[in-house]
Structure 1
């Protein structure tokens, strides 16, 4: 497991120090609309896995998770499904782990990566993903190397 993240069957929590995040989505389901909306800030504290994609239920689930974590619901992205598999790639002093759930990947990295750079590498590699970067390794990620690590995960 990567430093600075807490992972359960239904939740990935970014414990920092940074909260950079980005996402790409292929559809217009309620969970995608919610997650797209909360990702406009470029920061996330958690990703919740749910079995319901309806916007109102996604919103309610995000509120519940946020209350339990003592954060705002706008800091919680939601994805449909459950973690089916995971894989980790280690690079130049940093790591990235991918959690696959029903066709969307949730990616965590301890590399230092801005939200803008995270969005760039996601657009070039994956059709549906959320990426959280917490900088816990203290290492900056070269975008080319980061994209290569994403390719290796798939």
Structure 2
């Protein structure tokens, strides 16, 4: 688990590496709806801490806001995202969630564009009722 600035740096670095070595990677932003920091038990681990335990060691997670996170998933294409999200959201029980994703080089080729696309599609998923993943095109 890393902070926001390091996460952005790692995404930029991953774009450069993926360009050179010609592989794909994805970014997923995941928000949990209806949960405020005040209603969470302080002793419980954050969503980012939980996700970190169930992803590969090559992947990176950052807390994005009080009830959301972002993940950098190395060598993950858009078709890999639904099963990854299903596995993570199943661990959390019946918590409403919304997710958005982007994939280098399929949906975006710059780090800033990937992050913006993942956030925008997450917001669209939330507006369309949640419990869904939208990926940029």
Please indicate the TM-score interval, normalised by the length of the shorter structure. 0.3 to 0.5
* Normalised TM-score (structure 2): 0.33
